[in-house]
Structure 1
Amino acid sequence: MKLLNAQDLATEAAPAAGALLTVANDVDVQTLDLTGVQRIDLAFPKFADGRAFSQAFELRRRLGFAGVIRATGDVLVDQLLQMRRCGFSEAVLRADQDPAVGEKLLQHYSGFYQGDATDLQPRFAKTA
């Protein structure tokens, strides 16, 4: 998972027209036209509002979106592991969050027993 901060966004190149879709967390993602979309920004307006987790999971698992899904808004390092498991590929951290701490947290677990949005097969079903 790629972690970004305000400095990264300032130097980021603008995406091509139609390649970026910014989605509010109350939108039903199944109603979206994803033709030509390369990146979807999902919003976390506050830490306690997790609807974007469900949106990311639906985009990856049910709709098969293979592009970049970016978390924006009130994004804390505490959420990163769950974000990655729900299908997020990037996160723009809140200004007071340390990307180094986020990277360390993402490396803490080597695997999970159950499948998730990007690794569908449960651990018990994997061959050595």
Structure 2
Amino acid sequence: MKTLNTITSAHWQPELGHPGSVVEGLSDIGQAIQVILLTPKGSDPHRPDFGTNNHHYLDWPTNIITPYLVRESIEAIQRWETRITVIQVNIDIEGSTVAVRVVWKVADGVPTESKVEYERTGTT
């Protein structure tokens, strides 16, 4: 477990759900993607355009929501996480869970994948 005393990277942030722990390097980027995709656009008063509108589409019929989630996710990540290039975004829907899988790479890096899950309140 990384802590404030053991940071070795220029890029780091507190680890979500683990007080006193930090993420750095590629894990920092993966967590940044999660923060971007899970933040409803307009909920950050200092950055009203930060985040996505993905939450608006979660309860839409399964066969319709994919292009909306892909578009919102790509636009938000490209705007707010400039350290990476998005290669592909895939949507997996199983029951009440919608997973957004983002394949990305750091400049001149190896492709990496981040997964963000949403829970749907009503499934159609």
Greater strand proportion: 2
TM-score higher than 0.5 here? no
Tell me: higher relative CO, structure 1 or 2? Use CA pairs within 8 A at least 6 residues apart.
1
- TM-score normalised according to structure 2 size: 0.30
